[in-house]
Amino acid sequence: MKRANFGEGPGLPTLLLLPQFLILLFFFFIPSLRALTQSVLLSDPFGTTVQFVWLDNFTELFASGEYRQSMWVTFQFTVGQNALTLLVALVLAFATDHIIRGRSVYRTIILLPYAIAPAIAGILWAFLFNPAVGPLAQILHGLGIAWDPNLNPNHALLLVTLAASWKHICYDYIFLVVGLLAVPVSLMEAAAVDGAGPIRRFVSIGLPMLGPTVFFLAVMNFIYGFFETFAIIDAVTKGGPAGATNILVYKVYVDGFVNLNLGSSAAQSVLLMSFALLCTLLQFRYFDRKVNYGV
Amino acid sequence: MVERAPVLSFVCHAILIAGALIVCVPLYFAFVAGSLSIAEVQKVPLPWLPGDQFLSNLQAAWAKANFSRTFVNSVVVALGITAGKIAVSLLSAFAITYFRFRFRMLAFWLIFVSLMLPIEVRIVPTFEAVANAALPLQWLADTLHLADLWRWISGHDVTIALEWNMVNTYPGLILPLIASATATFLFRQFFLTVPDELCEAARLDGASPLRFFWSILLPLSVPNMVALAIILFLFGWNQYLWPLLFTTDKDMATAVIALKNLIPRSDSEPAWNVAMSGALLTMLPPTLVILLLQRWFLKGLVDSSK
């Protein structure tokens, strides 16, 4: 709260807030409420009959093998993507912190995928690993691996995980580089005088001080994996083969817009909302720490 | 850098070169494939050096994906989201930081809540909202039985059917994506760091709130606005799910969505050369933005995520 302010009546501030609130009302609050109400309704695809069914949509979801498979796939995909992204970003950030010449050149190149839409990242990797023409697929075939993401579920999942990570490493990387810059040089020097080598210093000083950043990035990676990778799935595998890449957010879309099963789709939306809320709450823990300790 | 360690810096350079290669290999092969003829791109193994068909593939992609129209759409949508979000956020951040009014905290929390849900989780109801933005008013009319009321007053039968369809329109593409409050909080954080004395001095000089906003606060916010604008432009350009739902009219598709239709499917001719040159074309504008405005971009990225 500002000490200095224009303490006038509610007229002007209301006017200033109006555009924001109109947009939020129409495109955020009403749709979110609709999702909540729809999730307890059962309507036929043409919307002619609507019936209140309590929590049937939810119990049906958890009973369906398809939904449980989707949850399991999402789990594998997001955890794999998160681990790969963080690990590679950490190694790259560590390396960037230890060199002097050429920093900005490396940084510029590694940042490039941020500009590239997830869908395009997916298309690039789909080409590299295309069993008929892709150069990387040809290398795999040369090694005697029957690589075919169109048929083999594991290959498909691996492909979208690689594409999703490739697109997102730059994000984690830049936060880790910034985080490492904040580690006091005097601390590192003191450790060096005590005989700790660069890797020891990174593990014992750098990493713990990066802790909150790594936590924040892990949460952001999960949000990215859960929601923004929709484009990769839709452009590359369409959830297949045999549901192997049918992650939760893609299933919401297919059930809602292709199968027109609105009640189930809304119930799935509500479950995803809860997950998004959880992630946001976790992020605030990070905010709190930043405020308390002024890192 | 605390001590000299030539071996370590060598290893670090090797790691970074490997990282840069991981970034560049897909881009390089996209370029190679994009410069081959359709016969060459199907050869096994794929040539490692580019061919001479790059320009003709670009032309083919440009025509096939309707880029002369879809690029314009992408520019309009990306700029619309950027300008809209910044304008709306600046105003509301100004309201909640510089005024004391009764429902200030309520307004604050309502905006705050909207930070939490990405558009992906509420696509079906949001689509309904855009398909008929007047729907809430219709519900209101239905619940209040306005039609019956009117019949009772005037004796005429009326049906109230309100409709405002925004599918296949720019507002329909842009407005739902403005509805997130990240930018509001970014500006609020920034306004809180602006010295109180500026506001006091402006008031002593008799400046109205809007005058203070326009002549003092806005110029001070320019660096933040630029940084945020870059992030939002990339966000808008790279949107996928939302424009995808709007491709009922091909002329309203964005470049990324149009590109999707170039990807060879199993039953079509494997024209990966055209698809790859189209991909390079579509990623060109955001890449240029990042390369040219890198310093601002980094600031915007780190700011807007906290």
Q: What is the pLDDT of residues A202-249, one digit of tens each?
A: 888 888 888 888 988 998 899 899 888 999 999 898 887 888 899 998
Question: How would residue A3 be classed by pLDDT, with cut points 50, 70 and 90?
Answer: low
| Model confidence band, residue A292 (pLDDT cutoffs 50, 70, 90) | very low
Residue A82 has pLDDT above 70, yes or no: yes
Residue B214 pLDDT level (bands cut at 50, 70, 90):
very high
pLDDT tens digit sequence for B250-271: 888 999 999 988 888 777 777 8
**Among the partner residues A6, A234, A269, nearest to B98 by beta-carbon distance:** A6
Q: Which two tokens stand for residue B300?
A: 């915007």
Please report the residues numbered 267 through 286 in chain A whose beta carbons come closer than 8 angstroms to any beta carbon of chain B.
269, 272-273, 276-277, 280
> What pTM was computed for the model?
0.88
Beta partners for A42? A51
| Residue B156 three-state SS | coil
Residue-wise pLDDT tens digits, B151-181: 777 777 766 666 777 778 888 888 888 877 7
Dump pLDDT digits (tens) for A162-218: 999 999 999 999 999 988 888 888 888 888 888 888 888 888 888 888 888 898 899
What is the average pLDDT across B30-51?
84
Q: Are B101 and A13 in contact (CB < 8 Å)?
A: yes
Q: Does B98 touch chain A (CB under 8 A)?
A: yes
The residue in chain A having the minimum alpha-carbon distance to the alpha carbon of residue B210 is A12
Q: What is the pLDDT of residue A33?
A: 83
Judged against a pLDDT cut of 50, whether residue A280 lies above it is answered with: yes
Q: What are the DSSP calls for A36-47, one per residue? A: HHHTTEEE-TTS
Q: How confident is the model at residue A152 (pLDDT cuts 50, 70, 90)?
A: very high
B contact test, residue of A25, A90, A109, A120 with most B CBs within 10 A: A120
Residues 6+ apart with CB under 8 A from A286: A212, A215, A216, A219
Contact B270, B37 (CB under 8 A): no
Tokens 């971009």 belong to residue: B297
For residue B80, what pLDDT is reported? 95
CB contacts < 8 A, A to B, total 322
ipTM of this complex: 0.86
CB contact under 8 A, A253 and B241: yes
Contacting A residues, span 169-228, partner chain B, CB-CB under 8 Å: 169-171, 174-175, 178, 185, 188-189, 192, 198, 201, 220, 223, 227-228
Which residues have CB under 8 Å from B44's CB, separation 6+?
A: A133, A138
Q: Compute the nearest-CA separation of B98 from chain A (Å).
A: 5
Residue A248 phi, psi dihedral angles, 5° rounding: -55, -45
**Per-residue confidence at A45, pLDDT binned at 50, 70, 90?**
low
